[in-house]
Structure 1
């Protein structure tokens, strides 16, 4: 948790506040929507739902992904989100970014949160070079700023180390190359709140080290960073605080090392 700045006496500035957040959504159940009679069946489901009002349509189910989560994040913090698959980490991240509205509770943000890979959505048929330009513009950078930082972005991503890949369409990239370029574009700009979902799982040790150094720089620039990662080592090395989610509930919020220790002890018992 962020403490009062002892050098200035200033109170910590909250950047994100989640107040009793619940998130539910509806997904398709078993059975394929295609095949003979698919359109008729779909129309039947639509009419049935209309007749029942707000009830879920047949063949669907409601997922309660986040259950009453509350926390406050502050300027200069790097916060890791940990938990088993399906625990609600990515859903909560999307809610902070404004892409998934809470069913109950509220999320308050200071400034504009940026979810890595969404705010700078890249296009597979365009070259990496063109995507760098469009991605930078999508994040609010001017053309001059993109031009000034272009080579830095390419060098940071490392995708040109084994050939001139930046001039090729992004659909020819591996998933790791695409993820590294997305991170490089997002990290070229300071953010009030930067949300990163598994980006540090890609690339070699050198890229991961550069990414962690850049996250530290973003924090020093008075931003807040949220990191979802299945790598406990990355959470320990990158974050000073961690939130442990399990089955949509917040089980623990505290110093990253302590939370990761508790999570690892829990998983060993399973």
Structure 2
């Protein structure tokens, strides 16, 4: 009769231990509730308001917003400039994501080696990331300027003519893309460097003992270990790239030829604050949000399937 009693008491104790402690619940509530409140006020409420305004013809200075239904969405989908803006957004985003990831990984692999002055070089590589995008845009105007720019001077020394980055839409888009990659490179570099320093060194040593070539070690041993880091960077860099405004505004203001470097984020600003069509700008912002949401969900699904 003694053993069943002991068994019941232990079971009761286990159930009690499974229950969350009241003090822990109180602490979690105190820490989470204020953050959730601020998140709702400053993130989700503006998001809902933006979606609501996308169905109106609201002007920033107008006291009343008139309901127009899907008119803004129909106009955006049928406007001749829309697909130029979408093309610029996709091309800019893909180029900056791939360029930032590839160059960041290359620099991380190089500066992970025991080299003289590597800490100084690491600081130099990371520094542009913490500098204002507007400041970098102003600085790079002296690099791409058609009359006295650095590229123009170098091309003249070789007897060549530098392209006009400020008049040709293709060259202008390339200019802002290269500028953003240079600014964002420090971010991907630091994250990849941290991942490299935390990787399993025993796998590298085993591959080296087996006589595996450096290229094969990179593909078969190192890159699989960096997959979670690459996934994280691909999402964050993509989200940041699709929301770039300062560099484009300073260097080209969306031009040349009207929409030569206009992306969807810049179009939101242009329609809302320049053309005074806040309702139409909210429509573009809503569509951009849906695209970002869909891309993020797809990336998460792909990553989850890769881990199975």
Q: TM-score range by the shorter chain?
A: under 0.3
TM-score (structure 1 length as normaliser):
0.23
> Bigger radius of gyration, 1 or 2?
2
Say which structure is richer in helix: 2
- The structure with the greater share of residues assigned to strand is 1
